[in-house]
Amino acid sequence: MSLRLGDIAPDFTQDSSEGQINFYNFLRDSWGILFSHPADYTPVCTTELGFTAKLKDEFNNRGVKAIALSVDDVESHKGWINDINETQNTSVNFPIIADQDRKVSTLYDFIHPNASETLTVRSLVIIDPNKKVRLIITYPASTGRNFHEILRVVDSLQLTDKHKVATPANWQHGEDVVIVPSLKDEAEIKQRFPKGYKAVTPYLRLTPQPE
């Protein structure tokens, strides 16, 4: 299966470090971040999971639930979590799916045969409250993920879902945004963006971030 943006994220039931999980019941009406790891006790993944645990408040503020996946079993996960907590000075506060049968990895296209026929690649999927896939990003095994970028994408998605705007290159929360080109009615623009806008070109119109 090839998962693409806009697809409905597949539901599943699978064991995890926090017991059996049904994915949709876990997410409920929250945003979700599902990210895969090649295996337990791997160095880059250890730093990633530790950093994710430290972002709990940031995720909570955005209504986001994190859940990780590795192809090892629950007992292995629990031992690895002890290592993560000790070495990263944190406490893992989200489930790690035990995907020994590669069921979830197959559903989410986390197995890339040319990289490895058995291990999951370092992929991450953002899922919105309607269970739609909004971002898919895959890193090479040697490169740890940038979770500040993940938070930035969530901020952008949540903002642009509410307002007729897009976010420009390197945008950070609080900076100017772009009015979407399809919005042309000046009366509506004034109503939606009372702070006004700057037309760099007829199609590139910058306005202060709503809210």
CATH of the domain at 18: 3.40.30.10
Confidence of residue 116 (pLDDT cuts 50, 70, 90): low
132 in the same domain as 189: no
Total residue length of the chain: 211
123 in the same domain as 176: no
CB 126 within 8 A of CB 31: yes
Q: What average pLDDT score do residues 16-24 get?
A: 97
199 in the same domain as 170: yes
113 in the same domain as 35: yes
**Under 8 Å CB-to-CB from 188, ≥6 apart: which residues?**
none
Confidence of residue 112 (pLDDT cuts 50, 70, 90): low
Q: Is residue 154 part of a domain?
A: no
133 in the same domain as 45: yes
Question: What's the confidence (pLDDT) of residue 111?
Answer: 75
Question: What's the confidence (pLDDT) of residue 28?
Answer: 96
pTM: 0.91
Question: What's the confidence (pLDDT) of residue 211?
Answer: 81
- Range of the structural domain that residue 169 is part of: 163-207
As to burial, measured by CB atoms within 10 angstroms (0-12 exposed, 13-18 middle, 19+ buried), residue 126 is buried
Q: How many domains does the chain have?
A: 2
The residues that are catalytic are 45
Report pLDDT digits (tens) over 30-51.
Answer: 999 999 988 899 999 999 999 9
Q: Is residue 130 part of a domain?
A: yes
Q: What average pLDDT score do residues 145-163 get?
A: 96
